């Protein structure tokens, strides 16, 4: 059974930093691209970033590029999202997600999701 267990999140001031982690089990982690998706009441679901299985490629939505960094450790089966220079509009629940099929980038077919972590950015 695929499981994604998230940690991290919390309250941070504008301009601050947070790190989210996602620990995977139940599948061959190194073969699958992993993605972070966020949900906010005003914007709904939003794709944030994807990392290929080998870590060779990373992809970001425009609004976080240069501030967020996605990374993974295949030996520990974890994927992380380092978030710097946080802004109020980054306030959301952040989910890690596993792709349905083997591909070096996201197709948006997220078959498994972590439980979510709330990130609140306050001034």
Partner 1 sequence: QSALTQPASVSGSPGQSITISCTGTTSDFDYDFVSWHQHHPGKVPKLIIYEVNNRPSGVSNRFSGSKSGNTASLTISGLQAEDEADYYCCSYTGSKTVVFGGGTKVTVL
Which positions touch partner 1 (CB under 8 A)?
Answer: 35, 37, 39, 43-47, 50, 57, 59, 61-62, 95, 100, 105-111, 113-116
6: three-class secondary structure by DSSP: strand
Q: Which residue has 């629940």 as its token pair?
A: 93
- Residue 21 or 35: the one with the smaller Cβ distance to partner 1 is 35
Could you tell me the smallest distance in angstroms from the CB atom of residue 22 to partner 1? 13
Q: Which two tokens stand for residue 40?
A: 């906010």
- Residue 3 or 85: the one with the smaller Cβ distance to partner 1 is 3
How far apart, in whole angstroms, are the C-alpha atoms of residue 81 and residue 35? 10
Q: Which two tokens stand for residue 71?
A: 């990374």
Could you tell me the smallest distance in angstroms from the CB atom of residue 104 to partner 1? 8
């Amino acid at each position: 059974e695929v499981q994604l267990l998230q940690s991290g999140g919390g309250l941070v001031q504008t301009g601050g930093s947070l790190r989210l982690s996602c620990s995977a089990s139940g599948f061959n982690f190194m073969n699958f691209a992993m993605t972070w998706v966020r949900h906010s009441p005003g914007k709904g679901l939003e794709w944030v970033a994807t990392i290929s299985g080998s870590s060779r490629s990373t992809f970001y939505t425009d609004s976080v590029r240069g501030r967020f960094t996605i990374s993974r450790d295949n030996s520990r089966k974890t994927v992380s999202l380092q978030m710097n220079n946080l802004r109020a509009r980054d306030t959301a629940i952040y989910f890690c997600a596993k792709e349905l099929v083997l591909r070096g980038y996201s197709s948006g077919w997220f078959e498994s999701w972590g439980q979510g972590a709330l990130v609140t950015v306050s001034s």
